[in-house]
Amino acid sequence: MEIIHVSAECYPVAKAGGLGDVVGAMPKYQNKLGHIAKVVMPMYKTKFLSDNSWDVVHKGRTNIGDYWFDYTIIKEQTNKLGFDLYLVDINGLLDREKVYGYDDDIQRFTGFQVAVVDWMSVWEHHPDIIHVHDHHTGFIPFMIKHCYKYQHLQNIPTVLTIHNAQYQGAMGWEMSYLLPPWDSWKYGMLDWNNNINPLASAIKCAWKVTTVSKSYLEEMKQSANGLEALFEYEKGKCVGILNGIDFHVWDPATDTYIEDHFTVPDVKEGKQKSKRLLCERFNLDEEKPLIVFIGRLVGEKGADILPGAISDSFYYVGRKMSFLILGSGFPEVEDQLNGLQRLSQNDYSVYIGYNEALSHLMYAGADFLLMPSRVEPCGLNQMYAMRYGTIPMVRRTGGLRDTVVDYGEKDGYGIVYNWAAVGDITQGVWRAVDLFEDQEKVGAIRKQMMQLDFSWEHSVQQYLDLYESLLPLPPLEETGEKDGKLHDG
Ligand code: ADP
């Protein structure tokens, strides 16, 4: 099968979160199984762009509303990522440093999608599947069904994967002029709550919809930032497939971001060395259990309750552990977390910002990883942590529920609590401190977790089965049915 992934992010080209990790890994594993998976994404101004060589494969001209633009499709020359990577260059619109966060993001991502479909519409052959990811690519299933210019593509099955339904890209109907001329009888396929909603549109128009864990799909029927009824209505075509993690990038035995590599037999010594580096750098007491948080400092991740939970833990559990936080997000949360440094007794530090290398060192050197998420579609951090022998402390939600079993349960290995609340986290911290005193048990849990299989192989097969179910049946000649051979026995 030939699969085209269209995405706003793809690691290592450009990543803002889990979407980038997934799109950087899934196609690689699909190719390993003998398929042809390619990625198309915007050409941002990234280091990856300047460090690599590119071929121009297509030049075109199209428009969003009355803004006409030339676009160029370039392809990375060496296939170094394990899949063909195409970037869409639209001068002035996409070639910027950040992925998101500009006032004209609506125009940027609409322009990107129009250019992608425009380019595909002149291909001599058609891909078997178009796989779009999140709302930034959510107009594509609509466009190939209902925009007159592109309707000859409408027989190509489309799959939408929802990595995060909190963000939907909604815009007022006055923006409808951005789309290429479309069948206005189909306005309902764009509309949700009197707005154009690209995510809702993709849920309605894609042939299949996947979410990145089974529990998240169930939860969205109850709570999906306004789309609950749509998920309930479309549940027949929705399926939850847990993300995998890229075992080549996230491997404590070879990780290029850490100095002290380790495997299952020497996990204790290996982790200790990385912990020492962290503790020296952030002035933390190496003897205490180290609890870390890595992620966006937003409400979804429960980051706003971290300051209260850390203070309460020191107060109620005692200064028996250290905390190290890496992230950026809401300025108030950043300020509160920075403010806590004044109270540190070699047991608290924070790094505000995005730092890929530091995140790897933290997965390697921490004893526990805290994830008090309010919403967690899949969550990759807990899987990375476990691969590095770091015990996850997670709220029972979404993908966290599907991947972490409390150590109090049979064959369990993590710390699981019910609510994103200061009290629940503090109790989790108390349990972590208690568990850490039993080093034999910690050692056994680490070894058990490192051998859990969260690889992409599993999940990729589920995606392939899903694609397969959308392909036309082979012609009768190939099955022998035409001659009645099968029926005649
Ligand atoms: P999200 O909802 O942010 O996509 P995921 O758990 O799916 O959450 O993925 C988060 C990814 O982003 C992980 O690879 C994590 O290590 C990384 N990450 C998040 N914040 C930071 C940061 N401040 N520095 C480095 N990596 C980060």
**Cβ atoms within 10 Å, residue 212:** 26
Could you read off the pLDDT of 441-475 as tens digits, one per residue? 999 999 999 999 999 988 999 999 999 999 988 77
At 485, is the pLDDT very low, low, confident or very high (cuts 50, 70, 90)?
very low
What does the domain layout of the chain look like in residue ranges?
2-240, 267-450
Ligand 1 pocket, Cβ-based, cut-off 6 angstroms: 17-19, 21, 164, 294-296, 326-328, 354-356, 359, 378-381
Please check whether residue 107 is in contact with residue 69, taking contact to mean a CB–CB distance below 8 angstroms.
Answer: no
CA R_g for the chain: 24
CATH match for 267-450 among 3.40.50.300, 1.10.3720.10, 2.40.70.10, 3.40.50.2000: 3.40.50.2000
Query: Residue 274: left if φ>0, alpha if ψ -120 to 50, beta else—which one?
Result: alpha
Q: Whose CA is nearest to atom 22 of ligand 1?
A: 354
At 480, is the pLDDT very low, low, confident or very high (cuts 50, 70, 90)?
low
Q: Whose CA is nearest to atom 19 of ligand 1?
A: 295
**Cβ atoms within 10 Å, residue 410:** 6
Q: Whose CA is nearest to atom 7 of ligand 1?
A: 18
- Ligand 1 pocket mutation pick from 326, 381, 454 by most atoms within 8 angstroms of CB: 381
Tell me the average pLDDT across 123-132. Answer: 96
User: The tokens 């027949």 sit on which residue?
Assistant: 236
Output the pLDDT for position 458: 84
- Residue 378: C-alpha distances to residues 40, 67, 158, 214, 450 (Å): 23, 38, 22, 9, 19
pLDDT at 486 over 80: no
Could you read off the pLDDT of 393-410 as tens digits, one per residue? 999 999 999 999 999 999
Q: If you measure from the C-alpha of residue 473 to the centroid of ligand 1, how many angstroms do you get, rounded to a whole number?
A: 40
Q: If you measure from the C-alpha of residue 18 to the centroid of ligand 1, how many angstroms do you get, rounded to a whole number?
A: 6
Q: If you measure from the C-alpha of residue 297 to the centroid of ligand 1, how many angstroms do you get, rounded to a whole number?
A: 10
Could you read off the pLDDT of 227-284 as tens digits, one per residue? 999 999 999 999 999 999 988 899 999 999 999 999 999 999 999 999 999 999 999 9
Q: If you measure from the C-alpha of residue 381 to the centroid of ligand 1, how many angstroms do you get, rounded to a whole number?
A: 7
- Identify the CA nearest to 152 among candidates 126, 181, 182: 126
Find out if CATH 3.40.50.2300 is the number for domain 2-240: no
Output the pLDDT for position 489: 31
Could you read off the pLDDT of 137-193 as tens digits, one per residue? 999 999 999 999 999 999 999 999 999 999 999 999 999 999 999 999 999 999 999
Question: Is there a common fold for 2-240 and 267-450?
Answer: yes
Could you read off the pLDDT of 177-220 as tens digits, one per residue? 999 999 999 999 999 999 999 999 999 999 999 999 999 999 99
Q: If you measure from the C-alpha of residue 471 to the centroid of ligand 1, how many angstroms do you get, rounded to a whole number?
A: 34
